[in-house]
């Protein structure tokens, strides 16, 4: 019996020792909670089927848009995933080549140190820094207006202005080919909505006559139309506005910084500075290319937008590095207008050679958006793929970005392109154009 008790005691001690060892061992943290995919319900399965059918229709129509992966800074020459050598980029909104300009990058880095990565706030709570107001004042001065207000994008600026400015007593008259952001912004307002035929002044005048009973009438147009590269007949629009006591709004995203002798846009191009009442534009193209948009115009309008414009009131403020990069880009443009001259000379060189080669070109002869018209969506996509094989980055545009039957390759010329770059792109277009029987 005594020996049994001893054996039992020894077993208990060993077990206790094992437990102590276990307690002293590091325990693994429980795995992070992972959301498991929801099992397909009948309704979700039905929705997925609808989505897959829509995707199949896009692919079958030849309008599927693949996203190529860039592995370098934005510039005239870029690195593209899957390509062994650098590629010439002819489809960026980087009209002046400032997206990777050393001074623009340095200004952004500096602001990161001095003002932080972001504000974690909308403007009216605790999201306005000195650099935000400085940029707004600089933009207003650049355009010769009383004040300006920043947005996260020009899409937001367009979404935020019409419902603030217009009431059911008012009328808005918009060019039928205006940008999607303008169309969406107008849909949000309660004004009487009218569209006039693209750049058709007779139809615009007719719409102005039909809306004579409105409290105020707003004519809305792009300065330069992004898919076609053509420029609004701004002199005639302003003349009609004067005749019928209307106000003029213009979206200058594809003009600010590079169009007109000093980059002041469509007004300067026509020599009618100050005749437009309200300008919306972007920081995300020629002005550094990061992000951001703005409205500039009468101070009373800007003050009201700060109080009532929903995208401004309910969106985080622009990050300080973005503000600083845009501000520096604007400084460079105001200090030296030689880049805008380079954009124009490059544009004329490209367009002249392409027309001489037999291509159908759309757009204004002075604007760097140079659409090469091909018609068929599959042809445009195939053409662009073959251009990449030749070391030229362009994209085929087709429905719904452009109307059915009007597929194209939209070439965009930059002041950062050399003459050799232009000539090499034209040569590739000619070679592939002949191969695909676009030209003879």
Strand partners, 278: 249
Q: Which residues contact 231 (CB under 8 A, 6 or more apart)?
A: 223, 224, 225, 266, 269, 364, 366, 367
Q: Is 120 a known active-site residue? A: no
Find out whether 372 and 406 touch, Cβ atoms under 8 Å. no
Residue 410 CA from chain centroid, whole number: 15
Tell me how crowded residue 163 is: count the other CB atoms within 10 A of its CB. 18
- Whether the CB-CB separation of 384 and 394 falls below 8 Å is answered with yes
Question: Is residue 281 within 8 Å of 253, Cβ to Cβ?
Answer: yes
Catalytic residue among 181, 226, 327, 381: 226
Residues sharing a CB contact under 8 Å with residue 160, sequence separation 6 or more, in sequence order: 151, 185, 295, 305, 309, 310, 311, 312
Give the DSSP H or E segment for 149.
strand 147-151
84-117 core/surface letters (b: 16 or more CB in 10 A; e: else): eeebbbbbbbbbbbbbbbeebbebbeebeeebee
Active site residue 418: no
Q: 389 with 375: CB under 8 angstroms? A: no
Query: Which tokens hold the place of 17?
Result: 């020792």
- DSSP labels for 353-400? HHHHHT--B-S-TTSSEEEEEEE-HHHHHHHHHHHHHTTEE--EE-TT
Dihedral, 76, 80, 85, 89 alpha carbons, nearest 10: -20
226 is catalytic: yes
**Residue tagged active-site, from 285, 367, 406, 417:** 285
Selected catalytic residue, list 132, 194, 254, 367: 254
Dihedral pair phi/psi, residue 91, rounded to 5°: -145, 25
Q: Which residues are tagged catalytic?
A: 226, 254, 285
């Amino acid at each position: 019996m005594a020996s049994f008790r001893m054996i039992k005691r020894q077993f208990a001690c060993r077990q206790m020792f094992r437990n102590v060892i276990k307690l002293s061992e590091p325990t693994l943290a429980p795995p992070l909670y992972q959301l498991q995919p929801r099992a397909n319900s009948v309704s979700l399965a039905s929705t997925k089927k609808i989505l897959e059918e829509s995707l199949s229709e896009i692919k079958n129509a030849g309008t599927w848009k693949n996203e190529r992966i860039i592995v370098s800074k934005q510039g005239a020459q870029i690195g593209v995933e899957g390509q062994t050598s650098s590629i010439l980029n002819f489809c960026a909104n980087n009209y002046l080549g400032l997206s990777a300009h050393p001074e623009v990058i340095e200004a952004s880095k500096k602001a990161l140190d001095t003002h932080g990565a972001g504000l974690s706030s909308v403007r009216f709570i605790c999201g306005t820094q000195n650099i935000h107001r400085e940029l707004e004042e600089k933009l207003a001065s650049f355009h010769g207006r009383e004040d300006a207000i920043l947005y996260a994008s020009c899409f937001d600026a367009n979404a935020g202005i019409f419902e603030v400015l217009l009431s059911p007593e008012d009328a808005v008259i918009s060019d039928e080919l205006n940008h999607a952001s303008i169309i969406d912004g107008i849909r949000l307002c309660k004004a009487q909505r009218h569209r006039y035929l693209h750049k058709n002044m007779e139809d615009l005048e007719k719409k102005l006559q039909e809306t004579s009973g409105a409290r105020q009438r707003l004519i809305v147009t792009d300065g330069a139309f992004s898919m076609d590269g053509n420029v609004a007949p701004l002199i005639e629009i302003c003349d009609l506005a004067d005749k019928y006591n209307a106000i003029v709004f213009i979206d200058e995203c594809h003009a600010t910084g590079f169009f007109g002798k000093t980059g002041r846009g469509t007004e300067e191009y026509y020599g009618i500075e100050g005749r437009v009442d309200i300008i919306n534009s972007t920081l995300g193209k020629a002005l550094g290319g990061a992000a951001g948009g703005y409205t500039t115009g009468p101070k009373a309008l800007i003050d009201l937008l700060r109080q009532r414009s929903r995208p401004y009131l309910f969106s985080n403020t622009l990050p300080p590095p973005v503000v600083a990069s845009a501000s520096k880009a604007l400084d460079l443009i105001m200090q030296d207008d030689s880049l805008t001259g380079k954009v124009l000379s490059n544009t004329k060189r490209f367009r002249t050679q392409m027309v001489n080669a037999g291509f159908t070109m759309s757009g204004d002869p002075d604007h760097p958006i140079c659409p090469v018209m091909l018609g068929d969506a599959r042809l445009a996509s195939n053409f662009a793929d073959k251009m990449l094989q030749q070391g030229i980055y362009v994209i085929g545009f087709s429905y719904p970005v452009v109307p059915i039957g009007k597929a194209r390759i939209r070439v965009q010329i930059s002041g950062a392109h050399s003459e050799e770059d232009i000539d090499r792109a034209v040569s590739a277009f000619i070679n592939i154009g002949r191969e695909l029987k676009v030209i003879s």
